A and B are shown apart, each in its own frame.
Chain A
Amino acid sequence: MTVPRGEIFGFLGPNGAGKTTSVKLLLGLLKPTSGEAWLLGEKIGDLETRRRIGYLPELFRYQGWLDAREVLALHCELAPLPRSTWKDEIATALETVGLSERADDRVSTFSKGMQQRLGLAAALVGKPELVFLDEPTSALDPVGRHDVREIIRGLSARGTAVFLNSHLLSEVEQVCDRVAVVDHGRVIASGTMDELLSGTAVRVRVSGLDGAARTKLSAFGPLDDEGDQLTFSKLDIERVPELVSTIVSLGGRVYEVAPRHQTLEDRFLQLLEAEEK
């Protein structure tokens, strides 16, 4: 599995699938029991590579007894960035995440959402080439989520690769160029959105179809039969008229046809279901 520079990569999986563990392994916070990985051309665990990486942990927490500006100065110092650049770096990061007004307030007075914004700002100092964002919007309201999506797109536009861990699938669907689905520590699918979300689901409300007729309809792809509701999970939209005429020719009566593009959530659930089987 490779994540090229400038790409927004979504890493999906159910709770406990191993998403955060994978990120910690890549960052050198955990030691792998087997296998190999490279970050920015260097083997994982290389100290120097970490100068070029930003990280917002899922469990974000910052020194409550420092103010926001001091927290970012600390990250500039540990990065380490030349002291002459700190002021601009901090101002830019605070402005990007919308915390300029609270720069001199103690972190202990921040809401959870504001602390997550601060964490994102800390991940952005030093213009990293690769940013790991582990559930970056878990504490944010809809406006905050929108802002984060814009920040992620901005990072990608300037050539920064973004490794996005999330189980908010609609969010991933909106920003990611490519995704991988992980379950029980194993990647079970990966590809671009187009590759993963091929096909359209079509729901048809019918009556008058017997068992034999329903069996014949499976020629139109995987069929979820719920009595008067038939859902064809992978059907080209161009074949819908043919489907309707076939149902009618088999003696059925059609009350409703609802084509629906497959969402990442549909695909995600489908993959996990298949994995369980």
Chain B
Amino acid sequence: MPPVFVFARLTVQESSRRRLLLALVILTLLVVGFSAWGFNKITTVTRSDGSVLPPEQVALITSQLLIVVTFMYSGVLALSAAVVAGPLISSEVESGLLLSMLARPVRRSEVVIGKWLGLAVLVTLYAAGSALLELTAVNWATGYLPPHPIELVLYVAAEGLALLSLGLVLSTRLSGITGGVIALVAWLIAWIAGVVGDIGMGLQNSALQNVGTISHLLLPTDGLWRGAVYAMEPDAILAALRAAGTAGRANPFSAVDPPPTAFLAWVVVWFALMLTLSIWSFRTREI
């Protein structure tokens, strides 16, 4: 097996043996169970005249609640990716674990790509698995399904991958805890900057709008999150938001349009840049 896949396999194996996967699976099952119970309650809510909510209203409420629940999932994924990626290389350099392996015919780029690949598989599998469980539970409880479930999974996974890539770059130079904290703070700042951009849009203020745009370019997690939100919004909500004009856009839990193609192309370039930077940084590091 080429070294890249050996390191990818090791990364997956380590997460599994250290029971990280088990912990995530148990927590996810708990959240799915609780949210299924909660979503089911929407269908039993009665109005003042004693009648239950009509299906259209249940779907609208469910769609908005699902966005909040998905934000929680994307947060878990982003936090896990940052915390795991932060020490991915630095801890193995500090402990000496990489020394004997790097004395083998192994390129440092193979170590970096292999580790990224292993975590990317885990992030994608978690995004797909948790989405499948949550959407199945919501569908069972309310009969609602978001309009674009595949795109939803892709955007949430990409957000996790972005944090993983940032954590990996930092991990080639900084200690695990420092890299992890920086990645987390960057994720939060990007989210806040996205909100600032929204407010700028609502107020028609180009300076504030630029804050959002620049943050989407530097760390595309918030832009990807908006893609996930768009994938979950039913037509009725979209129509209402569009009717509200610029004010309808000033909300981190809403998206009127899908992410522009230029942004998605930039995301691909951004991933390539992050990996290239990680490889260069690790290659030039003395160990």
Tell me whether B96 and A59 are in contact (CB under 8 A): yes
Which stretch (B97-105, B151-159, B168-176) binds chain A? B97-105
**A274 proximal to B (CB < 8 A):** no
Tell me whether B287 and A78 are in contact (CB under 8 A): no
Chain B residues near A50 (CB-CB < 8 A): 103-106
Tell me whether B105 and A55 are in contact (CB under 8 A): no
Which stretch (A11-19, A61-69, A249-257) binds chain B? A61-69
For B107, give its contact among A29, A47, A60, A80 (CB under 8 Å): A47
Known pairs A30-B286, A78-B3; A61 contacts B105 (CB<8 A) = no
**A204 proximal to B (CB < 8 A):** no
For B103, give its contact among A29, A61, A62, A77 (CB under 8 Å): A29
Tell me whether A60 and B14 are in contact (CB under 8 A): no
Distance of A48 Cα from B97 Cα, bound (Å): 22
Residue of A nearest to B17 (CB): A65
Distance of A27 Cα from B100 Cα, bound (Å): 10
Q: How far is the CB of B281 from chain A (nearest CB, A)?
A: 14
Q: Using a CB-CB cutoff of 8 Å, which residues 15-37 of chain B contact chain A?
A: 17-18
Q: How far is the CB of A22 from chain B (nearest CB, A)?
A: 14
Q: Mark A70-87, 1 if CB is under 8 A from B, else 0.
A: 000011011110000000
Known pairs A30-B286, A78-B105; A55 contacts B1 (CB<8 A) = no
**B269 proximal to A (CB < 8 A):** no
Tell me whether A56 and B10 are in contact (CB under 8 A): no
Chain B residues near A63 (CB-CB < 8 A): 10, 14, 97
Tell me whether B17 and A78 are in contact (CB under 8 A): no
Tell me whether A60 and B6 are in contact (CB under 8 A): no
Number of chain A residues whose Cβ lies closer than 8 Å to a Cβ of chain B: 31
Chain B residues near A30 (CB-CB < 8 A): 286-287
Distance of A65 Cα from B12 Cα, bound (Å): 12
Tell me whether A78 and B99 are in contact (CB under 8 A): no
**B48 proximal to A (CB < 8 A):** no
Chain B residues near A29 (CB-CB < 8 A): 99, 102-103, 287
Q: How far is the CB of B116 from chain A (nearest CB, A)?
A: 18
Chain B residues near A47 (CB-CB < 8 A): 105, 107
For B105, give its contact among A24, A48, A57, A65 (CB under 8 Å): A48
Chain A residues near B101 (CB-CB < 8 A): 74-75, 78
For B99, give its contact among A51, A59, A66, A74 (CB under 8 Å): A59
For A75, give its contact among B13, B18, B99, B100 (CB under 8 Å): B100
**B95 proximal to A (CB < 8 A):** yes
Residue of A nearest to B16 (CB): A65
**A176 proximal to B (CB < 8 A):** no
Chain A residues near B102 (CB-CB < 8 A): 29
Q: Mark A36-60, 1 if CB is under 8 A from B, else 0.
A: 0000000000011011010111011
Q: How far is the CB of A192 from chain B (nearest CB, A)?
A: 28
Distance of A62 Cα from B95 Cα, bound (Å): 9
Q: Using a CB-CB cutoff of 8 Å, which residues 72-115 of chain B contact chain A?
A: 95-97, 99-107
Chain B residues near A179 (CB-CB < 8 A): none
Chain A residues near B1 (CB-CB < 8 A): 77
**A247 proximal to B (CB < 8 A):** no
**A201 proximal to B (CB < 8 A):** no
Tell me whether B103 and A27 are in contact (CB under 8 A): yes
Tell me whether B100 and A60 are in contact (CB under 8 A): yes
**A99 proximal to B (CB < 8 A):** no
> Which residue, of B3, B14, B96, B107, has the highest number of chain A Cβ atoms within 10 A?
B96
Known pairs A56-B100, A61-B96, A123-B100; A74 contacts B105 (CB<8 A) = no
Please report A residues at the B interface, Cβ cutoff 8 Å: 24, 27-31, 47-48, 50-51, 53, 55-57, 59-63, 65-66, 74-75, 77-80, 119, 122-123, 132
20 contacts between A and B (CB under 8 A): A27-B103, A29-B99, A47-B107, A50-B103, A51-B104, A51-B105, A53-B103, A59-B99, A60-B96, A60-B100, A61-B95, A62-B100, A63-B14, A65-B14, A65-B17, A66-B13, A74-B101, A78-B101, A78-B104, A119-B100
